Amino acid sequence: MRLTIVNQFYAPDVSPTAQLAASLAEHRAARGDEVTIIAGTGRYAPAAASSRSSAGPNPRLLRVWTPSLGRRTATRRLIDYAAFFAQAKWRLLTLPAQDAILLLTTPPYIAMTGAVHKLLHRRARLVLWSMDCYPETMVRAGVIGAYSLPARLLGAANRWLFPRLDDVVCLDEAMRELLESAYSSQGKPRFSVIANWERADSFPPRGLAAPWEGTGRLALEGKQVVLYLGNAGTGHRFDTVLAAARRLAGGPHVFLFVGGGAAWPALQAARDSENRANVFLEGYVSGERLPSVLASADAALITLRDEMMGVMSPSKLHAALAMALPIVYIGPAGGNVHEAIERFGCGISLRHGDSDGLVSFLEQLRSEPALRDELGRRARLAFETAYSDRVGFARFDSLLDGQAPRP
């Protein structure tokens, strides 16, 4: 099979989409596919990269130049998006006929470039791997109005695009229901749910992970570390977490944020305004250091705004499960994190505003080591059962090879 994967970011970039695209590309190449990657030259987080990359004839990596202006403002993002979009379209026009083109959603609407290739090569299968939903994400974040001209135009673009796709891969049932109800037309495209994953070989047992240097630097020894790892963006909310941190100040409980994002300045301001000694903020780390950072923690924190249900699916869940961390989720019921907790009993699912429940759970986790160990065991079981690369690859193989993915 000739397979092309299109995404703005690619390994060694640290972004989840870059790592997912790389792992799937390497897997399909090992199966005998002729795999091409079209990616940009910029990085999601310039200071953090992984050394793990796919350099070689298969997968073949085609880097197209982008200005790399960064993600600080909408204008900078749009310029980077436009540059990548134009060059990805040209690359797809000049490629020989592909059997399948797998297009992610960074940047949004990049799947339209696949439709250009299909105009020339009608037998090519177009598969959208939906990591986010647009314009719904922008509407629910308050960036544009639900009935504004931009929202109507972007919705119309989806109604043009989706019937031209063969398959749409969603990250959870909430996303599938949203997209299928809004954009399915006469049975097209087919919708599947395939959860994101992490590479199993990247996450050794907790006791074998290399020590993280931040543990000593931040004096975390003997503390109960609640870790938020990755992007803290417009889709996340932290008032309940900060309220719990205020109540737990002076005790053994520490809230450690490692990453960045649009909410980072607000987190810094909240920490500094009350001189919260139990809240720490660190920048992004490379992929190789993730297991060490996770191994320094006692629980993994994940949040999601209520209005983001179905349009976002937090990918930080999978690494936490791989490192056998109990999951502390604050957000709406439903979606991938809530579903994992309900299915495997690997943590607690709380609603926004329930700082009492959060404080109670963390105190119980601290006082009952056996509970922490049991939740960690269930977390690793969840990873091996549903969120490892082995499981994700098998489901993508079924889809790409013409079968319905197994539930």
Domains and CATH numbers, the chain: 2-197+388-400 (3.40.50.2000), 202-387 (3.40.50.2000)
User: Tens of pLDDT along the chain (407 residues)?
Assistant: 999 999 999 998 888 899 999 999 999 999 999 999 999 987 776 555 444 555 579 999 999 998 877 766 778 888 989 999 999 999 999 999 999 999 999 999 999 999 999 999 999 999 999 999 999 999 999 999 999 999 999 999 999 999 999 999 999 999 999 999 999 988 899 999 999 999 999 998 877 888 899 999 999 999 999 999 999 998 999 999 999 999 999 999 999 999 999 999 999 999 998 778 999 999 998 888 999 999 999 999 999 999 999 999 998 999 999 999 999 999 999 999 999 999 999 999 999 999 999 999 999 999 999 999 999 999 999 999 999 999 999 999 999 998 655 44
Q: Residue 180 corresponds to which amino acid?
A: E
| Alpha-carbon gap, residue 68 to 77, rounded angstroms | 9
The model carries a pTM of 0.89
Residues counted in the chain:
407
Give the pLDDT of residue 45.
62
Q: Which residues contact 91 (CB under 8 A, 6 or more apart)?
A: 38, 62, 64
Give the pLDDT of residue 14.
81
Give the pLDDT of residue 407.
47
